[in-house]
Structure 1
Amino acid sequence: MTDESLYLRFVVALGIGLAAGIERGWKQRDEPSGQREAGIRTFTILALIGFGAGVGAAPLGPLFAAAVALGVFAFVVTMYFFDASKPGADRGATTEAAALLVFMSGALAGAGEVLAAAIAGVMLVLLLDLKHELHSFLRRVQELELTAGIKLLVVSVVLLPVLPNRGFGPGGVLNPFELWWAVVVIAAIGFAGYIAMRIAGANKGALMMGLLGGLVSSTSLTLSAARASQTAPAAAPALAAAVATAQSVMFIRTGLVVAALNAALLQHIIIPLACGALAAIGCALWLARRAFVGEQDQAIDPVSPDMLNSAIKFVVVVACVLIVAHYAQVYAGDIGVVLAGVVSGAIDVDAASVSASRMSGGELHNATLSAAGLSVAGALVSNSVVKAMIARTQGTAAFARPAMLVLGVSAVAVGAGIAIELLLP
């Protein structure tokens, strides 16, 4: 062990103890002397004891560290019962639990797990400081919201990792992991958007939903926004602005994906991308202005944000489209490449962009750059059309009209860009 390493471990352990102690001490700064719980000195000492136990575990053996930990545990438990026995005591065990975690973090730092110790220490201080905010949040959470969140955790953390991550079916296009990942993404966007609207209000929350959803999947965002307009009609204008925002992000994201995979292909789609992006950004600014001007942000009534059923149905359609796109590509050559882009782009523009980039470059080189460019541009148009259909069939009229307008305008703009590209020498 070098001196520099030992000093770093010591500084991390000391910092954890000081940070937690300052937070606890600041909260008790108005308490009379003798009635305060563990503060800056106690927490710092516990962190340093943990540091000593972690450092001493190597030369003295794990029994040394275990004995020190047992002693600290006994001290903390005794401290809790002593304070709880005071007249009028009505308290939880947060300080005692924090004291134990500070000791463990100090021990981790002493044992060389500096990053783990730092993360644990910082998260502890954050949780201690957010006491009132967390309690306020819990008071606002409804049972149906909690149930929806737990379901989302089950399908993403428990079920997703056990699914096979390889292709099945014709051409190996059906990947259970990727298909279920789409379910998780759609459900998560819907849930996150609902929470954002509950916390920030209908308008601001919807726009946050559009920006973040556009980074992941603008199609999933459109479905989530359409469903949200049913449960929160007052947010329909802002939800339409969210769709326009996601549409703008989609064009930018597509350009970045193509540039990263096949820079030569970007030259063949830059005009359609630019036309579509400018149209979508203009519509997004217009709709956002309409959503905010003259109207106060409205609260969202608690409803179930569970999107799993809609997400599963949507992904079943995705699987069917992928099979059709595979056969179009196999049996129709360059025309099939374009058709495959149009069909697969109806569901996922990124899939069409990646496929076209790979087919027109690298080892595959199964398609010309012009055909690949038309494939990506066609995917952008078909994706916009499908999202307009989703808005019409899944959302309210107040949401569907402006959403279909922005999607239609951007699709026409991409079409105009394709025409310009074809006319250029």
Structure 2
Amino acid sequence: MFDLPLALDLLVAALVGLAVGVEREWSGHTTGPDGRFAGIRTFTLLGVIGGFGGWFFRDGQPVLAAVIIGAGALFPIAAYAATLRRPGTTTDGTTEVSAILVVAMGAASALGHRSLASAAAVLCVLLLAEKSTFQSALQKVAAHELRAALQFAVLALVILPLLPSGAYGPFGAFQPRQLWIVVLLFSGLNFAGYIARRVIGETRGLGVTGLLGGLVSSTAVSLTFSRRSRAEPHLALPLALGVVAACTVLVPRLLVISAMLRPAVATAAVPVLVLPFLVGVSLIAFVMWQERETRVPPTPELASGPEGAPAERHEANASDPRPLAPTNGHNPLAFASSLQMALAFQVVLFAIAWVQQAIGTTGVLLSATLLGLTDMDALTVSMTRYGADPANVRVAATAIGIGVLSNTMLKLAFVVTIGAPRFRARAALGLLALAAATGVGIWIGWP
């Protein structure tokens, strides 16, 4: 009797080999003095060999399956050994390794994992076809960036599993593993902001720079741009746009943080924060549309830091076309800043736990007003912990909104007291619009 599922398994096994073989033929690795052993036909047959090996295993004949799959895997190894004996042959074994992978993917297909085999084949062909692209991208990676990626892997995959997951200390507010997750979260956000600024560049406009700077510290953007408006008053409008952009991107940043730690709090915070976000986007779109023909000069470098931390300033000539150095210098993770954030978060956890016991909901909202002046990220993470009790979810979301409003008023104070007159008028108008929208959002989400 015809076995349709088996036929489909073997067909996928053959197609897996065919796909890899087509790429090897197309890329020219099967011809020339350095040509490798396999092309379209050989790779297709290797996929079928793996498929039959998987089929025999499912049929209860593991020894025969091992012999077939082992022979299929040993063939490219023997071919590679023979190729190396030829004078002048390179040691590149990508084709042979791909052949072994084809046998494995064929076996996986016959074992009932057709989707997995197909996905692995697509990834394999992509890696083979885009060799030059990957090599070119790797050459652009600086040593400190690769080191930062490896450090993050150690922090996430080595240190995190070793930390205890229990709750300790007064009010059970000290949780080592959760605290380390906060460190990883902010380090990851710093790295993402670093990569974004490097890819897009610092010279694409003050609005874009404010938007990207807001990924790290919207307060730092507001303070730096307010100072720069005095040195370069002719940049009043783009500098004000940068401030509004930084304040706008703060909203999705906080929602992402809360969604990663407590989705229920993020969901409850959406009605509170969506209105200021829409107002900010509308202001940015309106100004960008009006100034669509205007070239914007280079921007200052913004240092990474927590909300409210001052930013370093890079004095750049408005006509200087040279790109500026990426943010965070040689520390894309800004690990020290992340540790400081986590410690501040831990202090806040103890404080909020105490306030909750002593005063209740009113005290939590009051502490959100004060904390919003200093550290929005610590407030958001703390509120996700506070929202672990379903009864506190709306209070936590409202507290985040109150913190955003408080933080916006702090930036307004920077703009009014430090900024040049033309910048002050434009930036203050935008911040007042954001504050009004936040107030309406708080009213809508009030518990």
TM-score strictly above 0.5: yes
Match of 1:378 among 402, 415, 421: 402
Between the aligned partners of 1:194 and 1:11, the Cα distance in structure 2 is 45
- Counterpart of 1:71 in structure 2 is 71
Structure 1 residue identity aligned to 2:68: V
C-alpha contact (below 8 Å) 1:207/1:239 kept by paired residues: yes
Q: Which moved more, 1:175-184 or 1:237-246?
A: 237-246
Residue ranges of structure 1 left out of the alignment (5+ in a row): 392-400
Mapping of residues 13-28 of structure 1, within 5 Å: 13-28=13-28
Mapping of residues 336-355 of structure 1, within 5 Å: 336-342=363-369, 346-348=376-378, 350-351=380-381
Between the aligned partners of 2:248 and 2:157, the Cα distance in structure 1 is 29
C-alpha contact (below 8 Å) 1:16/1:47 kept by paired residues: yes
Match of 1:308 among 335, 349, 362: 335
Structure 1 residue identity aligned to 2:63: L
What CA deviation, in whole Å up to 9, does each residue of 1:44-85 have, x standing for no partner? 111110011111123354332332233223321232233344
Between the aligned partners of 1:90 and 1:264, the Cα distance in structure 2 is 57
**1:347 aligned counterpart, secondary structure:** helix
Between the aligned partners of 1:224 and 1:138, the Cα distance in structure 2 is 34
C-alpha contact (below 8 Å) 2:348/2:379 kept by paired residues: no
TM superposition shift of 1:21: 1.4
CA RMSD of aligned residues (A): 4.9
TM superposition shift of 1:330: 1.4
TM superposition shift of 1:134: 0.9
**2:440 aligned counterpart, secondary structure:** helix
C-alpha contact (below 8 Å) 1:265/1:357 kept by paired residues: no
Between the aligned partners of 1:306 and 1:224, the Cα distance in structure 2 is 19
Between the aligned partners of 2:117 and 2:251, the Cα distance in structure 1 is 41
- Counterpart of 2:110 in structure 1 is 110
Question: In structure 2, do the counterparts of structure 1 residues 166 and 111 end up closer, same or farther at CA, with 3 Å as the change threshold?
Answer: same
- Counterpart of 2:317 in structure 1 is none
C-alpha contact (below 8 Å) 2:190/2:334 kept by paired residues: yes
Residue ranges of structure 2 left out of the alignment (5+ in a row): 229-237, 299-321, 416-423
C-alpha contact (below 8 Å) 1:187/1:308 kept by paired residues: yes
**TM norm structure 1:** 0.72
- Counterpart of 1:394 in structure 2 is none
**TM norm structure 2:** 0.69
- Counterpart of 1:247 in structure 2 is 250
Between the aligned partners of 2:140 and 2:98, the Cα distance in structure 1 is 26
Question: In structure 2, do the counterparts of structure 1 residues 262 and 34 end up closer, same or farther at CA, with 3 Å as the change threshold?
Answer: closer
TM superposition shift of 1:145: 1.5
Does residue 59 of structure 2 align to residue 62 of structure 1? no
TM superposition shift of 1:333: 2.8
- Counterpart of 1:396 in structure 2 is none
Question: In structure 2, do the counterparts of structure 1 residues 76 and 379 end up closer, same or farther at CA, with 3 Å as the change threshold?
Answer: same
Between the aligned partners of 1:164 and 1:306, the Cα distance in structure 2 is 24
Q: Which moved more, 1:201-210 or 1:320-329?
A: 201-210
C-alpha contact (below 8 Å) 2:247/2:408 kept by paired residues: no
- Counterpart of 2:356 in structure 1 is 329
- Counterpart of 1:412 in structure 2 is 435
TM superposition shift of 1:378: 1.4
C-alpha contact (below 8 Å) 1:108/1:117 kept by paired residues: yes
Count of equivalent residues: 393
Between the aligned partners of 2:148 and 2:442, the Cα distance in structure 1 is 46
Question: In structure 2, do the counterparts of structure 1 residues 87 and 13 end up closer, same or farther at CA, with 3 Å as the change threshold?
Answer: same
Between the aligned partners of 1:3 and 1:207, the Cα distance in structure 2 is 62
C-alpha contact (below 8 Å) 1:50/1:103 kept by paired residues: yes
Structure 1 residue identity aligned to 2:399: S
More helix by share: 1
- Counterpart of 1:294 in structure 2 is 295
Between the aligned partners of 1:93 and 1:419, the Cα distance in structure 2 is 61
- Counterpart of 1:133 in structure 2 is 133
**2:174 aligned counterpart, secondary structure:** coil
What CA deviation, in whole Å up to 9, does each residue of 1:95-133 have, x standing for no partner? 111111111111112222334323322221121122001
C-alpha contact (below 8 Å) 1:54/1:110 kept by paired residues: yes
- Counterpart of 1:398 in structure 2 is none
Question: In structure 2, do the counterparts of structure 1 residues 190 and 114 end up closer, same or farther at CA, with 3 Å as the change threshold?
Answer: same
Question: In structure 2, do the counterparts of structure 1 residues 210 and 81 end up closer, same or farther at CA, with 3 Å as the change threshold?
Answer: farther
TM superposition shift of 1:181: 1.4
Between the aligned partners of 1:102 and 1:206, the Cα distance in structure 2 is 50
Between the aligned partners of 1:344 and 1:414, the Cα distance in structure 2 is 20
Question: In structure 2, do the counterparts of structure 1 residues 79 and 10 end up closer, same or farther at CA, with 3 Å as the change threshold?
Answer: same
